[in-house]
Amino acid sequence: MPISGFPELLPGQRFVELAVLDRLRRTFELHGFAPVETPAAESLDQLTRKGEIEKEVYVLRRLHADDSDAGGSLGLHFDLTVPFARYVLEHAGHLEFPFRRYQIQKVWRGERPQEGRFREFTQADIDVVARDVLPFHHDVEVARVMAEALASLEFLPPLRLQVNNRRLVEGFYRGIGAPDPAAVMRTIDRIDKVPADVIAKMLHEEAGLDDEQTAKCLALADIRSSDTSFVDRVWALGVAHELLDQGVAELEAVVRGCATITGVTVEADLRIARGLDYYTGTVFETRMAGYEALGSVCSGGRYDSLASDGKTTYPGVGISLGVTRLLVPLLQRGVLTASRSVPSAVLVALPDEESRESCDAIAYALRVRGIACEVAANPQKYGKQIRYAERRGIPFVWFPGEPHTVKDIRSGDQVEAQPSVWTPPVDDLHPSVVVPTKGTS
C-alpha cells in the first residue's frame, strides 16, 4: 500500500525527476556552488530550536530501544536550512567564506497530506553564507542562479520569481507612521488569501492604521513590475524613510541583475512578505502558472544571522526550490512524462540462445560509445521482440546478421549498421522529458 504523503514514482516519472535534479545541479555548479549533504537526522534540540514547527517533526526511535539510546533524541530534518546552519558552525574551520553551497535532499514533515503537501519531499537549496559580513551583491547572485536554474527546466509551466525587500516595506510602513509595522506586514502577507475589504479592516483594527495609511499600504502592495519601473511607482506614493531608500535600491539591483534572464519571469512584487520567516532584506517567492493553489514553489531571502556561535555571526542569503511540490502534481496529471521507461536506446534482438555471446558483444560495442542498450531476454520471434521494445519506448531494435541492420521502430526505417560505428540521433541517446501537449523537450 502506498503510504499517504510519501510519493512514489514509476521509472519513467523518475527519469523526469532525475532530469530536473541534473539540470539544477549543473546550473548550481556552473556558478561555483559546492555540494553539501547532511544526515537525514539531527538532534531534536537542533530541530526544535526555533520552536514554531515542533509538531511536524518525525522523531526516531529504535524498535527495541535500550540504554545506549539515552544520549539524546533524533528527528528527521524538516528543511535544509536548520541542518546547514549547524553544518556551517560545526565545520567553519574547514570551510572558506563566502561559502556557496547547494543541497538537494529529502526532507520530512508530519503534516496532514493534501495536494502539493507531502510528508516526504525533495528540496533543492542554494545559499551563500559569510563570516560577519555578506555583501549585498550575493542577493542578486542567488536570485540569478535560481532563475537560471528554473529557466533550464523549460518543460515546466511558466514560472514567476517574485522578489520583494523587507527593508522597503518596513521603511514604507515607518514612513507613513504605522504604529506597528510588523502587524501591517503580517496582514499584507495574507492579501492573496483574504478578501480586500477584510484586509482593509484588519489594517485598521489590528495594525492601527487610518484610512489614508491603509490606502497607501494597499497601493504599495499592488505594485508589481518585471522591470525597474516599480521604483517610480513607489516614489509616487510620496513616502520617505531611510530604510525605504535602502530597500528600493536593493530590490532595484536584484531586478536589474536578473533582467537578461529569459524563460522565467523575475519581477518585483511588493506584496510578498514571507510572513513568519526571519528574513531581513530580500525575500523571494515563486508561482507556477495554472498551479497557483500550490502556493510558492521556490522561496527564500536574506538572513542577517543564518547561524551564530555567540562569538561569530554568519549572515546568509538563500532560496529553496520545492522539487516534489512542483513536480509531482505535474507527473500525476500526466502534464510531464518521459520518452521511455528504460534508459536503453537500443534493444539487441536475439535470434537464438546460442547467439547470446555475439549479441552481448554487439551491446558491448555500443555501450563503450555511451549508447545504453540491452539484449533481448529470450529468443522469441522478432515480432514479439519488437513489441517488447515498443512497450518500453526503446526507439531502436538491432538485428544481428551479415550485414547487421538497425530499425527505428517508430518510423519503420531500417538501415545497415556496424556496432562499432552506428550512433542514434543525439535526442534518442537518453530518455527525454515530454510535455504531451507540446512535444519533446
Contact between 325 and a copy of itself by CB under 8 A: the answer reads no
Q: Which stretch binds a copy of itself (CB under 8 A): 204-212, 270-278, 317-325, 363-371?
A: 363-371
The binder of a copy of itself chosen from 49, 50, 90, 290 (CB under 8 A) = 90
The binder of a copy of itself chosen from 20, 24, 74, 169 (CB under 8 A) = 74
Contact between 314 and a copy of itself by CB under 8 A: the answer reads no
Q: To the nearest whole angstrom, how small is the minimum distance from the Cβ of residue 395 to a copy of itself?
A: 13
The binder of a copy of itself chosen from 191, 336, 342, 417 (CB under 8 A) = 342
Are 316 and 142 in contact by the 8 Å Cβ rule? The answer is: no
Q: Among residue numbers 391 through 410, which ones bind a copy of itself (CB under 8 A)?
A: 391-392
Q: Cell for 429?
A: 541517446
Contact between 351 and a copy of itself by CB under 8 A: the answer reads no
Of 103 and 299, which CB lies nearer to a copy of itself in the complex structure?
A: 103
Q: To the nearest whole angstrom, how small is the minimum distance from the Cβ of residue 206 to a copy of itself?
A: 28
Q: To the nearest whole angstrom, how small is the minimum distance from the Cβ of residue 85 to a copy of itself?
A: 14
CA torsion angle 80 85 90 96 (round to 10): 100
The binder of a copy of itself chosen from 367, 384, 410, 438 (CB under 8 A) = 367
Of 74 and 176, which CB lies nearer to a copy of itself in the complex structure?
A: 74
Q: To the nearest whole angstrom, how small is the minimum distance from the Cβ of residue 269 to a copy of itself?
A: 24
Name the residue with cell 560505428. 421
**What is the Cβ-side half-sphere exposure of residue 371, based on CA atoms within 13 angstroms?**
28
Q: To the nearest whole angstrom, how small is the minimum distance from the Cβ of residue 414 to a copy of itself?
A: 21
Contact between 30 and a copy of itself by CB under 8 A: the answer reads yes
Total residues at interface with a copy of itself (CB under 8 A): 82
Contact between 31 and a copy of itself by CB under 8 A: the answer reads yes
Contact between 33 and a copy of itself by CB under 8 A: the answer reads yes
Q: For residues 312 and 291, what is the distance between their CA atoms, to the nearest angstrom?
A: 42
Q: To the nearest whole angstrom, how small is the minimum distance from the Cβ of residue 52 to a copy of itself?
A: 13
Of 157 and 343, which CB lies nearer to a copy of itself in the complex structure?
A: 343
Contact between 192 and a copy of itself by CB under 8 A: the answer reads no
Nearest to 81 by CA among 107, 56, 118, 58: 107
DSSP state letters, 168-236: HHHHHHHHTT-S-HHHHHHHHTTTTTS-HHHHHHHHHHTT---HHHHHHHHHHHT-EESSTTHHHHHHT
Of 138 and 216, which CB lies nearer to a copy of itself in the complex structure?
A: 138
The binder of a copy of itself chosen from 49, 50, 54, 384 (CB under 8 A) = 54
Are 316 and 306 in contact by the 8 Å Cβ rule? The answer is: yes
Give the Å distances, CA to CA, from 286 to 66, 96, 107, 249, 268: 46, 30, 20, 21, 11
Contact between 334 and a copy of itself by CB under 8 A: the answer reads no
Are 269 and 163 in contact by the 8 Å Cβ rule? The answer is: yes
Name the residue with cell 530590490. 251
Q: For residues 138 and 148, what is the distance between their CA atoms, to the nearest angstrom?
A: 15
Q: What's the distance, CA 369 to chain centroid?
A: 33
The binder of a copy of itself chosen from 23, 79, 110, 116 (CB under 8 A) = 110
Contact between 341 and a copy of itself by CB under 8 A: the answer reads yes
Name the residue with cell 510528508. 119
Q: To the nearest whole angstrom, how small is the minimum distance from the Cβ of residue 151 to a copy of itself?
A: 12
Cα four-point dihedral sign 97, 98, 101, 107: positive
Contact between 421 and a copy of itself by CB under 8 A: the answer reads no
The one-character DSSP state at 42 is: E
Q: Among residue numbers 6 through 25, which ones bind a copy of itself (CB under 8 A)?
A: 6-11, 14-15, 17-18
Between strands 414-416 and 405-408, the pairing is antiparallel
The binder of a copy of itself chosen from 79, 120, 245, 304 (CB under 8 A) = 120
Q: Which stretch binds a copy of itself (CB under 8 A): 3-11, 198-206, 291-299, 310-318?
A: 3-11
DSSP state letters, 266-310: EEEETT---TTS---SEEEEEEETT-GGG--SEEEEEEEEEEE-S
Contact between 70 and a copy of itself by CB under 8 A: the answer reads no
